[in-house]
Amino acid sequence: MGGGTETRKSGEISLDQLKKRRFLRGARLAWAPWIPTLFVMGYAFRGIWEQKATGLGAVAGGLSESFVVCGIGAILVGEIAAIVLLFRAFPPGHWMRSLFSVLSICFSGWMLLLVGLFFWLSWFQTHRNF
């Protein structure tokens, strides 16, 4: 009574509850950067579309604005932590949670790939023009 349903009489948390917590934390970390990114990407591409801008310089300017707003460091740390938490909480037997874990891990990897692509394009484009 009053101790919560996830604790046993000895005060320990069950392994399933621990995996559930890891899953929920990992899922939140995996999906959190996508919400502001979608809004900022829409804003950046709307600006590019309205100005009829073409070329890599116009697109890179819009994308760099979106990544700066979102915070590249927070995205990297959050996505890596999400992947680790979701792998550690991978539930054998809960097919819906497993499917959502795989989807979240894939989107976290996609976000890391986008950040890496941004770094690669911005680094090589600025240093190649000398």
pLDDT score, position 109: 92
pLDDT in tens, 40-78: 777 777 766 776 666 666 666 666 666 666 677 777 888
What is the structure's pLDDT at 53?
A: 60
Positions of the chain with pLDDT under 50: 1-4, 6-7
109 CB-near residues (< 8 Å, 6+ apart)? 79, 83
Question: What is residue 2's predicted lDDT score, i.e. its pLDDT?
Answer: 45
- How far, in Å, CA of 86 to CA of 12, rounded? 22
Enter the pTM of the model: 0.53
In sequence order, which residues have a C-beta less than 8 Å from that of residue 122 and are 6 or more positions away? 60, 64
pLDDT given for residue 14 in this prediction: 82
pLDDT at position 39 is: 76
Cα gap 130→111, rounded to integer Å: 30
**Beta-carbon-side half-sphere exposure of residue 92 (alpha carbons within 13 Å):** 1
- What is the reported pLDDT for 110? 92
Q: According to the model, what pLDDT value does residue 119 have?
A: 79
**Could you tell me the CA-to-CA distances from 47 to 9, 42, 103, 118 in Å, in that order?**
59, 9, 31, 19
What are 7's strand-pairing partners?
A: 13
